[in-house]
């Protein structure tokens, strides 16, 4: 997968996620208080996906047969720890008036995880 292909698909996924979030925020007025958190979460996952793409491309062409598998395992665990940390820090620092931020974050997490599985599968085939 080329850089151009990755970044064009990343832009599409990001735009699609933004539309989903906009609809979510329009339909649920209680969720509007978390729009900054939603934007920050999308940006965080764009950065994580970009880093994972470059790391995956590097390990997919590595001489080590287990490097790519190790990266996938580490990324699953790392994203899970990152997600818990982000949710905890936001809840403790912002003291949100409701729990809708968890649903917003989960939506973003799932969309970007599906995207990451897709592009990592493409990288594994190379």
In this prediction, residue 44 carries a pLDDT of 97
Q: What tens digit of pLDDT does each residue of 30-61 get?
A: 889 999 999 999 999 999 999 999 999 999 88
Q: What tens digit of pLDDT does each residue of 57-105 get?
A: 999 888 887 898 899 999 999 999 999 999 999 999 999 999 999 999 9
Does the pTM of the predicted model rise above 0.85? yes
Does residue 17 carry a pLDDT above 80? Answer: yes
In this prediction, residue 1 carries a pLDDT of 84
Does residue 106 carry a pLDDT above 80? Answer: yes
In this prediction, residue 126 carries a pLDDT of 73
Q: What is the mean predicted confidence (pLDDT) over 6-34?
A: 93
In this prediction, residue 91 carries a pLDDT of 96
3-state secondary structure labels for all residues of the chain: CCHHHHHHHHHHHHHHHHHHHHHHHHHCHHHHHHHHHHHHHHHHHHHHHHHHHHHHHHHHCCCCCCHHHHHHHHHHHHHHHHHHHHHHHHHHHHCCCCCHHHHHHHHHHHHHHHHHHHHHHHHHCC
In this prediction, residue 25 carries a pLDDT of 87
């Amino acid at each position: 997968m080329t850089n151009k292909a990755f970044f064009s698909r990343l832009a599409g996924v990001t735009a699609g996620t933004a539309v989903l979030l906009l609809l979510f925020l329009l339909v649920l007025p209680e969720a509007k208080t978390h729009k900054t958190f939603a934007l920050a979460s999308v940006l965080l996952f764009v950065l994580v996906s970009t880093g994972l793409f470059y790391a995956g491309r590097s390990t997919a062409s590595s001489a080590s047969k287990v490097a790519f598998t190790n990266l996938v395992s580490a990324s699953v665990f790392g994203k899970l720890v990152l997600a818990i940390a982000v949710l905890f820090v936001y809840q403790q620092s912002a003291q949100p008036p409701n729990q809708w931020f968890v649903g917003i974050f989960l939506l973003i997490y799932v969309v970007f995880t599906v995207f990451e599985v897709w592009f990592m599968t493409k990288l594994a085939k190379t």
